[in-house]
Structure 1
């Protein structure tokens, strides 16, 4: 059997695209689920009579399950093979989705979301491993660009799909829709993915697991609690983050003394992987954190419905779809250090517009800026991932993709927490309206709070001038928060400057060769 990359270095053949289809289906389910559920939180609050803190656990529980299972992916892929493990992840996610639709209480929903997260956490790192091995070194960029589509469209399509399903049917369908997709993906995976032939693997690192998975979960729990508590001084935040950090540092020190650690941090000796990982981590914090606030601006300041807010975000996805295939091809032909800075410049240019937002900023200007940001997004994230994985050997790919996914998860959580805390602290500075209290909580009502409630149709006896002043305050709070995001975007240029500017030498093909220099069977057949 000849190596696919050697036979067709300049295009993606049908066999590779079939494998990519399986992975994209899984990624769509996993990523869409996060944003679709965020839209349904107000509905859950009404249905289950839950507090905001309880609702937050439907998101946090899913995130913590992801963090717990991602470190196991690399070892499990080597031990059991990617096909079997990927199908198990699909089955867990689909089963969790079906269970979520049957939930009768907020406690049940949180429990079933954890089941979903256990499956969803393995889908992305395994998918990246499968696709990297399938493509071979010459086509990683183009194949990773395919995987990037659901990663970039999830935050845009989620609110649109979630809003439509809740309006047209019921909240149950935001979970039930995953069941037929999951069933199709399982059958598709069974037929399209090559048969597993896992090699004998090293023993499982139980000590490492007892430090790494709880450490990640506790750290992310503390970070995720920041928006609710509003301060890092809260015991729930600093105590869990501290214990998490202690466990993670202990794992780092421990892992370098082990021959086969759960997470192979020795891979960071690879300069390209290190630089790309740092670039990706800073980029995720900067863009994903602030990106979550774009639809919130449309909802809270402009009074748009969830569906309309999602549609207004669509230009970003369109821009990404236009440049992603081009960026994937370029990543296979030239060093990413020569293309990513230009794409980041587009993101920075589009982002700057949001630092100037007000109560009546032109939608044409905002949508145009989102489109420009989308163009930059399509040329940034997946080329950086390509650079991270290209110079790893086939044996190192599963461990490398696990590292990249952990950094993504941590960066996304930190970015979302930072932006939420900054925005919340700004809004809390709004003037309190004398003699007016919230009928549910009994707490004083601020001008900003009254303005946001009014934008969503809540009746208010307040003077229109007070509401207008409150609305301007909310808009200014968003603008100030976007300034922080803009500065973080600019900081991303620092690690990006160290991305390789010379053609990277891939070891994936070398790792798959026989003794005589002849190509061995395609890397995807190894597992």
Structure 2
């Protein structure tokens, strides 16, 4: 096999892995009511299956690079696909919510390594002048996942059963396992630097405690449990600081936070993504539970947002060059937050064209928001800190998705119980998560003035590509 054909095969392998990972982040959403009915639980009690997947990926992503160095990219990537496929089979075989949550954790273990190790394999195999084009090719797979996910999930539920939203990964994974053994070059398998297990444990404990505090599973004394879990999260985060100072190679160097735009961007990303991540979870539930849409119809309704987001990517660079990051993020954040609030206006009598317009505006603004936030957060880091900063940024992205789902679902439950109306619960929840997103506009006002001439980096180079 020639070098060019070998590199082409490598790109297709990595793109397929990225597609599986991004597909499973969105394909579940339109199937939630059907899964809930099958497992005899309330649809709004299903957020743990989304949170478990994203939180597991957030915790394990930092270890992926070390694992590749220690055991070799081919071996670890093969194991990642295998674990992901086994997790998918377990998801399809689940008979209770608890079983499904545990299966999603297993799936998240494999998913956490698919993109980082795949991107690392490309970095080590593709020459510098071809690297950007290679990442652009991979990013297309990441964009196809959110586009196809909701519709494909709705079609499987309506035409076959919800189990196929997970079983679809089996044939894809089987081909991937063969291709990895046949085409993926093996790098690493050498003495890797010591991994910071203590630091990873402290930050993982912080994320788990914080997520559980937001949506406490305890049926009694919920407030007390939430306060205790928030305290545990704060203690874990604070304990990491002296640990990082003492360790020669900590998981994340504290010097990262000396770059002011990295700190501001990290906080702004977390706050903004909480609101925008609630939308893919809440909208299919709103359409099916309140408006009476079928699973397929609700999945198709998510297409305008995904397609508008893909088209809008080309507008980002010229807008940032003209107005600068601070002005662009201020105005665009307001558009994103306002479009989320606008979902509260959707009722059974809302014209279809209005629903599509709201979804399209949200999708376009949200896509540009992610790319601009990604770029402004990471572009000021030194070459030495770029890898570590990108890894921490990816953790925050995954954490925000889980928090958005937990907060969005929790608010619907809270308002529905207090008002005695699920429809009003959805409306008030959209208003609240929209306001949370609007708060991030104030956070981005603290950015240092960034030169407008600096190009916006493509999403393929920034973490999860979302």
Same fold (TM over 0.5): yes
Post-superposition Cα deviations, 1:351-410, rounded to whole Å, max 9, x if no partner, equal 453243344222211211211222222322134323444455565444222201111122
Relative to structure 1, is the Cα distance of residues 281 and 20 closer, same or farther in structure 2, using a 3 angstrom cutoff?
farther
- 8 A contact 2:58–2:395 mirrored in 1: yes
Which residue pairs with 2:110 in the alignment? 119
Mark the runs of 5 or more structure 2 residues left unpaired by the alignment.
Answer: 458-466
Which residue pairs with 1:423 in the alignment? 412
**3-state SS, counterpart of residue 259 of structure 1:** coil
- 8 A contact 2:58–2:396 mirrored in 1: no
Which deviates more from structure 2 when the two are superposed, residues 109-118 or residues 339-348? 339-348
Shift of 1:320: 0.7
Which residue pairs with 2:265 in the alignment? 276
Relative to structure 1, is the Cα distance of residues 369 and 150 closer, same or farther in structure 2, using a 3 angstrom cutoff?
farther
- 8 A contact 1:276–1:499 mirrored in 2: no
Which residue pairs with 1:316 in the alignment? 305
Task: Determine the C-alpha separation between the residues in 2 that align with 1:376 and 1:144.
Answer: 23
Which residue pairs with 1:514 in the alignment? none
Task: Determine the C-alpha separation between the residues in 2 that align with 1:335 and 1:81.
Answer: 42
Equivalent of 2:429 in 474, 477, 481: 481
Which residue pairs with 1:381 in the alignment? 370
Relative to structure 1, is the Cα distance of residues 481 and 221 closer, same or farther in structure 2, using a 3 angstrom cutoff?
closer
* 1:203-214 → structure 2 map (5 Å cutoff): 203-214=194-205
Shift of 1:76: 3.0
Which residue pairs with 1:91 in the alignment? 82
Equivalent of 1:412 in 401, 413, 417: 401
CA RMSD, 1 decimal: 4.1
Which residue pairs with 1:492 in the alignment? 440
Matching of residue 233 in structure 1 with residue 223 in structure 2: yes
Relative to structure 1, is the Cα distance of residues 109 and 279 closer, same or farther in structure 2, using a 3 angstrom cutoff?
closer
- 8 A contact 1:337–1:496 mirrored in 2: yes
Post-superposition Cα deviations, 1:468-506, rounded to whole Å, max 9, x if no partner, equal xxxxxx1x4433332223322322223334265216889
- 8 A contact 2:252–2:388 mirrored in 1: yes
Q: How many residues are matched?
A: 451
**3-state SS, counterpart of residue 203 of structure 1:** coil
Equivalent of 1:71 in 32, 40, 62: 62
* 1:238-277 → structure 2 map (5 Å cutoff): 238-277=227-266
Relative to structure 1, is the Cα distance of residues 129 and 171 closer, same or farther in structure 2, using a 3 angstrom cutoff?
same
Larger gyration radius, structure 1 or structure 2: 1
Relative to structure 1, is the Cα distance of residues 230 and 193 closer, same or farther in structure 2, using a 3 angstrom cutoff?
farther
Task: Determine the C-alpha separation between the residues in 1 that align with 2:8 and 2:448.
Answer: 28
Equivalent of 1:368 in 316, 333, 357: 357
Relative to structure 1, is the Cα distance of residues 356 and 333 closer, same or farther in structure 2, using a 3 angstrom cutoff?
closer
Relative to structure 1, is the Cα distance of residues 351 and 52 closer, same or farther in structure 2, using a 3 angstrom cutoff?
closer
Task: Determine the C-alpha separation between the residues in 2 that align with 1:143 and 1:114.
Answer: 30
Post-superposition Cα deviations, 1:131-150, rounded to whole Å, max 9, x if no partner, equal 7786969986x877766666
Richer in helix (by share): 2
Matching of residue 62 in structure 1 with residue 53 in structure 2: yes
Shift of 1:117: 1.3
Which residue pairs with 1:357 in the alignment? 346
**3-state SS, counterpart of residue 28 of structure 2:** helix
Post-superposition Cα deviations, 1:46-75, rounded to whole Å, max 9, x if no partner, equal 545568798655444434433432332343
Shift of 1:29: 1.6
**3-state SS, counterpart of residue 428 of structure 1:** helix
Which residue pairs with 1:178 in the alignment? 169
- 8 A contact 2:270–2:400 mirrored in 1: yes
- 8 A contact 2:344–2:427 mirrored in 1: yes
* 1:13-32 → structure 2 map (5 Å cutoff): 21-32=12-23
**3-state SS, counterpart of residue 429 of structure 1:** helix
Task: Determine the C-alpha separation between the residues in 1 that align with 2:219 and 2:231.
Answer: 16
- 8 A contact 1:145–1:328 mirrored in 2: no
Task: Determine the C-alpha separation between the residues in 2 that align with 1:59 and 1:362.
Answer: 30
Which residue pairs with 2:450 in the alignment? 501
Relative to structure 1, is the Cα distance of residues 40 and 86 closer, same or farther in structure 2, using a 3 angstrom cutoff?
same
Mark the runs of 5 or more structure 1 residues left unpaired by the alignment.
Answer: 1-12, 432-447, 450-473, 509-527
Task: Determine the C-alpha separation between the residues in 2 that align with 1:261 and 1:488.
Answer: 32
Shift of 1:178: 0.4
**3-state SS, counterpart of residue 184 of structure 1:** helix
Which residue pairs with 2:24 in the alignment? 33
Which deviates more from structure 2 when the two are superposed, residues 395-404 or residues 333-342? 333-342
Relative to structure 1, is the Cα distance of residues 218 and 403 closer, same or farther in structure 2, using a 3 angstrom cutoff?
same
